[in-house]
Amino acid sequence: MLDGGTLTGGPLVEEFERRVAAVVGARYAVAVSSGTAALHLALMCLEVGAGDEVIVPDYTFPASANAVRLCGATAVLCDIDPSTFNLDPDDAARRVTSRTKAIMPVHLFGLPADMDAVLALAREHRLRVVEDAACALGATYRGHPCGALGDVGCFSFHPRKIITTAEGGMLVTNDDRLAERARALRNHGMRRQAEGVDFLETGYNYRLSEVHAALGVAQMARLPDLLRAHRQRAAWYGEELADIPGVALPGEPPGCQHIYQAYVVRLDERFNRDRVISRLRAQGVEASIGTYALSALSAYRDQTPLPRARRVFQQALALPLDAHLTREEVRAVARALRAALNEELECGMSS
């Protein structure tokens, strides 16, 4: 039987959408099966397709650029600001062509991108703005929530995010026609017409289930506490790591509220980051890389390597962070990092 729930989502999906929209300050939220699905639908709804270009930062998870390719468009990579890990608007401006249709700032690791500059660039060249806010639910830029600053914002609820539905995503917008089309496209192109339900275009099976939405509704009630917990643990890291030479801590530019979905530092080039990760893991600390320079990956080697993104890719180090980490555990990670870096220096001097 086809009813309103089939078209709009069940009651828990709708409640989850309402809660996210309220936090973000957007008129509409459309729940989908993943953050990648949200990005894909956002671009589809903005009519991005073959022959179009979308500017994407080189330093991001591949889903950002993959969504562009799924539309048949070209992802044009731009370099980043190594102090924030986010898109460099000046470098993005140099990559605008007559084919550029949109720009996709990524609020990486939960730190807002420089949206004043991004929006100014978009106005100058009449570009659409898709915020990849996968890591940034609750982050704010000049007092405004990330996700509702451009034409469309996209969130992820992957298990590594502060709020998780095990797997899921959300598209938010203030554009009623865009929201209506996104709801149709997530469900095979289905829409209700005067004569009944019809399928007006080819769509996708990007629905979020009621089971996943139930997890989201429960976790949204905890969002303020989870955000405070992540920021507190980031502050502890800042205190414990401040005096370690060669470690650049994540910053928080004026007007930005970082939510620290991940705590990522940058090692200077005296250190081999991959060996440091191995040394940390030998001490029981599960560290990892930050994310990827897309131009270093096989799928995107058709693009020119971008120097700042490539250096950050090689030197960024993600330390353990979750809402339950204790102060003593943070101290233990800092001690382990200090020891790993000292071993690296000693290894370098003896070689």
> Per-residue pLDDT for 322 more than 50?
yes
> Per-residue pLDDT for 1 more than 60?
no
* Integer Cα distance of 351 and 342 in angstroms: 14
pLDDT averaged over the chain?
95
The continuous run of DSSP H or E covering 81 comes out as none
- Asked if 63 and 134 touch (Cβ cutoff 8 Å), the reply is yes
Question: Tell me, what's the pLDDT at 62?
Answer: 98
> Per-residue pLDDT for 246 more than 60?
yes
Mean pLDDT across 170-178: 97
* Integer Cα distance of 224 and 1 in angstroms: 39
Neighbours of 154 (CB within 10 A): 33
Q: Which residue has 């671009």 as its token pair?
A: 43
Classify domain 223-350 at the CATH topology level.
Aspartate Aminotransferase, domain 1 (3.90.1150)
> Per-residue pLDDT for 349 more than 70?
no
In CATH, the number for domain 4-220 is: 3.40.640.10
Neighbours of 348 (CB within 10 A): 11
* Integer Cα distance of 4 and 2 in angstroms: 7
Where does CATH 3.90.1150.10 sit in the chain? Answer: 223-350
- The encoded tokens of residue 288 equal 């990892």
> Per-residue pLDDT for 347 more than 90?
no
Question: Tell me, what's the pLDDT at 348?
Answer: 67
pLDDT bracket for residue 2 (50, 70, 90) = very low
User: pLDDT tens digit string along 190-239?
Assistant: 887 767 777 888 899 999 999 999 999 999 999 999 999 999 999 999 99
Mean pLDDT across 174-188: 96
> Per-residue pLDDT for 344 more than 80?
yes
Which pTM was predicted? 0.95
Question: 161 an active-site residue?
Answer: yes
Mean pLDDT across 313-318: 98
pLDDT bracket for residue 6 (50, 70, 90) = low
User: pLDDT tens digit string along 44-88?
Assistant: 999 999 999 999 999 999 999 999 999 999 999 999 999 999 999
Where does CATH 3.40.640.10 sit in the chain? Answer: 4-220
- Check 19, 40, 161, 207 and give the catalytic one: 161
> Per-residue pLDDT for 331 more than 70?
yes
Torsion of CA 59, 278, 158, 203, to 10 degrees: 50
Question: Tell me, what's the pLDDT at 199?
Answer: 82
* Integer Cα distance of 121 and 117 in angstroms: 6
Question: Tell me, what's the pLDDT at 198?
Answer: 78
